[in-house]
Copies of this chain bind each other. A is one copy, B any other.
Amino acid sequence: MRKLTKQSIEDIAIGAAILGTGGGGDPYIGKLMALSAIEEYGPITLLDPEEISDEDLVVPSAMMGAPTVLVEKIPSGEEVFKSFSALESYLGKEVKATMPIEAGGVNSMMPLALAAKLGLPVIDADGMGRAFPELQMVTFSIYDVSATPMVLADEKGNSVLFNTIDNKWTEDLARGATITMGGSTMVAIYPMDGAQVKEGGIKNIVTFTEEIGKALRTAKEQGANPIKSLSEVMNGHVVFTGKIVDINRRTEGGFARGTAILEGIDDFQGNSASLDFQNEHLVCRVNEKVAVSVPDLITVHDAETGYPITTEGMRYGQRILVMGSPCTEKWRSEKGLSLVGPAYFGYEDVEFIPVEDRIKQLKGGN
């Protein structure tokens, strides 16, 4: 158990933007909410998963919807409050802690702000270890944890409680309700007991996120190489550095899809690369060969500062660095890959090969 300070929140926000792998929503608004909640209610308690009892009810919380809408439709805070009490009365049990379900992007922050407000501890775990676009894409799905009973609420006072036969149905129904409610909602989801969190969760992800942010901040303060610091903390590989020479975007099924084309610079002069995204980066190809694919992390950074660039922030002419980092081992299992592997995202022809092996192959091929 430890307390999260304002500095922790600042570092987690940077780390979460990187784990957003291009999407997940800018943690900025969430950060402001968390900081102001700490200001008002005091520091947030972060619990190691081993510190909760197997029987305790834990309810992750998150924002659902399009990151772009979020900015114009700030949650009132009341909606999650109501969602938690609705779940408590439905389950007939008190909520003992909350946690992020998605460590990447804005959803790193929502549970922190909420925890401060409700006086609940936050468990140092999540279900993605990064950002993903759909709610069934959590490691808990591998362990057959149900997303429901789940409560979804908007800032106007509408709320919906779902009970579904599987987590894909939850995704479809909750996505529809979110669109009807104006594009973003707050959810209390995957109610679990402590034992399920310990078995299915990605442990110490909040601390890991904080370390990423801290690495970048420290490098900046000390004038060290930020990319080197990042590579070390994330076990990351520099996959490409290049200039964006083309980028196209389209909105499809509520997702921001597109492709960016890169022309190599520095060590990659004379080479080309492409980045396919659907909210998050899905596949990075170097000279038309796959170099990294989901569920491994593809992160895009300012080539100088190492700071993350979202898919929305990418612009023609930018000089960027692409890093590939290993995802949790849980995602690399057969069941994990069926949920978030390249094939699920429509890349039937892309076999998942761990980034560290791909990089060896690519280097071996030179």
The digit string for A141-179, where 1 denotes a CB below 8 A from any CB of B, is 000000000000000111111111100010011001101
Main secondary structure of the interface of A (DSSP, over half): mixed
* A261 surroundings in chain B (CB, below 8 A): none
| Interchain nearest-CB distance for A92 vs B (Å) | 9
* A120 surroundings in chain B (CB, below 8 A): none
A181 CB–B CB distance under 8 Å: yes
This protein's copies in its complex: 2
The digit string for A206-243, where 1 denotes a CB below 8 A from any CB of B, is 00000000000000000000000000000000000000
A366 CB–B CB distance under 8 Å: no
* A169 surroundings in chain B (CB, below 8 A): 156, 158
A342 to B126, CA, bound (A): 52
Q: Which residue of B lies closest to A165 (CB)?
A: B157
CB of B180 within 8 A of CB of A158, answer no
A163 to B85, CA, bound (A): 13
Q: Which residue of B lies closest to A149 (CB)?
A: B161
A176 to B177, CA, bound (A): 7
* A165 surroundings in chain B (CB, below 8 A): 156-158
A205 to B149, CA, bound (A): 38
CB of A162 within 8 A of CB of B160, answer yes
Our pick among B156, B163, B181 for the contact of A159 (Cβ within 8 Å) is B163
User: In residues 294-346 of chain A, which contact B (Cβ within 8 Å)?
Assistant: none
| Interchain nearest-CB distance for A151 vs B (Å) | 9
A86 to B86, CA, bound (A): 13
| Interchain nearest-CB distance for A157 vs B (Å) | 4
Q: A177-B177, A180-B176 are in contact. Are A160 and B161 (CB under 8 A)?
A: yes
Our pick among B86, B157, B173 for the contact of A177 (Cβ within 8 Å) is B173
A57 to B360, CA, bound (A): 69
A13 to B41, CA, bound (A): 62
- Which A residues are within 8 Å of any B CB, using their own CB? 86, 90, 156-165, 169, 172-173, 176-177, 179-181
A-B complex: 3 closest residue pairs judged by Cβ atoms:
A161-B161, A176-B176, A157-B165
Q: Identify 6 new A-B residue pairs, CB closer than 8 A, beyond the known A158-B164, A176-B179.
A: A157-B165, A158-B173, A159-B162, A159-B164, A160-B161, A176-B177
Instruction: Name 25 A/B residue pairs within 8 A (Cβ), A-sorted.
Output: A86-B163, A90-B90, A156-B165, A157-B164, A157-B165, A158-B163, A158-B165, A158-B169, A158-B173, A159-B162, A159-B163, A159-B164, A160-B160, A160-B161, A160-B162, A160-B163, A160-B173, A172-B180, A173-B177, A173-B180, A173-B181, A176-B176, A176-B177, A176-B179, A176-B180
